[in-house]
Amino acid sequence: MSVNKINTSGRLAHVLVCVNQRRDSNLPCCADAGAEEVYQLLRAWIEDRGMLAKIWLTRTECLGWCTARGATVVINPGDHWYRAVTADDVPTLIERHLAPLAT
């Protein structure tokens, strides 16, 4: 079997946003807690700066930190995990992690 390693040298950051929608469950999930809005706000900020090729943004399934209060977001480099992220929190995440990359 051949394994082809991807060259990620042009990537400055990788943001993962859980948008998981649980079905047939009473457990909370990010989709019901505003994850799509969080994703779209991050996407708009990155796209507006022409940085989609440098700041990767990925929708994910459950990351294991489900809550009804917001989405789970992971930002690399640095392995920064955030729980219960809402649209109101997005400016803080951008200021803390992404804005310094957009100089």
Burial class (CB in 10 A: 0-12, 13-18, 19+), 67: middle
Contact of 34 with 69, CB cutoff 8 Å: no
Minimum Å gap between C-beta 88 and ligand FES is 18
Nearer to ligand FES, 51 or 89 (CB): 89
Please say which residue, 5 or 23, places its beta carbon nearer to ligand FES.
Answer: 23
What are the residues binding ligand FES (CB under 6 A)? 18, 20, 29-30, 62-66, 72
Query: Closest separation between CB of residue 29 and ligand FES, Å?
Result: 4
ω into residue 100 within 30 of 0, thus cis?
no
Angle at the Cα of 93 from the Cα atoms of 57 and 62, rounded to 5 degrees? 50
The nearest distance, CB 63 to ligand FES, in angstroms, is 4
Compare residues 63 and 87 and give the one whose CB is closer to ligand FES.
63
